[in-house]
Structures are given as structure tokens and as C-alpha cells.
Amino acid sequence: MTAADGADGAFDGAPDRNRDRAETLRSAVDVTGVVSHGADVAAGATRDESAVVDMLDVSEVTHTTGAGDRFSAGLACALARKWPLEAALALGNACAAHFVETGETANPRAVRSLLTRRG
């Protein structure tokens, strides 16, 4: 993001600021939706909704390269099933967190287990 689009700065742990940045960026570039996934939060905005979801804490960092791919896969899966944006971001975060913690791609049982432990 750039200062020119009015959405400059990193996404961080401030939900309202992250939501505003995602909404501003989506509007500035006139696209259907945007998502930002970072170490602390995932934020997104579509024309109809916006959401911010905290990243799940992991007990150990095993592997980080590829975590964004797992996030994207979880997000895409949820959006294809027409889940609300907040739930889609949460699934993406769970898939990424599982990979960071274990170095393995999550299956549905692993995601449920991770969310149960954290919930």
C-alpha cells in the first residue's frame, strides 16, 4: 500500500485501523476485495463487508516459508463455499498457524484441533 491510495502503513494488531486500511485500499483501487495476511492479523474488505481476525498464537515456530500459501488456500476454500469474510480469514489463519507450528499442511481434523485448543 502507498500513501497515494490513503492506506499507507503496515497492518498490525489494531482492528479498526486495519479494517479502515483494507476498506480504503479496496475502494482506492476499485476492486471487488482485498486481503492482507500478516504475522499479527489478517484483514480484508469486499464491497459488502470487512473483517479483521487475529493470527493464532503457536507454541513453536517450525517453518514459515509457505505459511502464506496455506493461508491463501484456506481463504480460497472458505470463500468458494460462500463463508462470510471473517470466517474465511479465520480458516486461512488456522491453516497458516498449523503450518508454522508443525511444518505440515493442515487437514480438517488438524484445523479443528488447533481451534479447539485456542478457543
* pLDDT at 7 (0 to 100): 47
Q: Which three cell numbers stand for residue 2?
A: 502507498
pLDDT of residue 12: 52
Mean pLDDT of 47-69: 91
pTM: 0.80
pLDDT, tens digit, 9 for 90 and up, residues 67-85: 999 999 999 999 999 999 9
Question: How high is the pLDDT of residue 33?
Answer: 87
